[in-house]
Amino acid sequence: MKKIEAFIQPEQFEAVKKELFAAEVFKMSVSQVKGCGQQKGYTESFRGQAVDINLLPKTKIEIAVNEDFVQPTIDAIIRGARTGNIGDGKIFVLDLPQCIRVRTGETGSKAIG
């Protein structure tokens, strides 16, 4: 099992979701975050309040998948998110040791799918 975490441009989210659904990936968690990549972010004080200068809004998508869905999920995210511009996003793939469905107590691959 793997956990895929993608940080994408918010305006690409609908396209990414469409590609994920087309790849039969329906389970996901989505949140709005702030982030920066290699263009570097920093925080400055403006009238006594901390202001994020280069921390830009990003959409974070978290998806837990069984092994056979890892590459299709990555490919779908790239298809939806890539414009060729700086800041298109980044995908992290993490090992996922366990998953438990609360209602049934199912664990592992059964609980993810």
Give residues in contact with ligand ATP (CB under 6 A): 7, 35-39, 58, 86-90
Provide φ and ψ at 52, rounded to 5°: -80, 120
Q: Does 72 bind Mg ion (CB under 5 A)?
A: no
Nearer Cβ to ligand ATP, position 50 or 86? Answer: 86
- Number of neighbouring beta carbons within 10 Å of residue 1: 18
Rounded to the nearest whole angstrom, what is the least distance from the CB of residue 105 to ligand ATP in the complex? Answer: 34
Please give the Cα distance from 13 to 77 (Å, whole number). Answer: 9
Q: Which of 78, 87, 91, 99 binds Mg ion (CB under 5 A)?
A: 87
The size of the chain, in residues, is 113
Show contacts with Mg ion in window 37-66 (CB under 5 A).
37, 39
Q: Tell me the residue number closest to ligand ATP, measured at CB.
A: 35
How far is the first Cα of the chain from the last one, in angstroms, to the nearest whole number?
Answer: 11
Angstrom distance (rounded) from CA 98 to CA 38: 32
Residues that bind Mg ion (CB under 5 A): 37, 39, 87
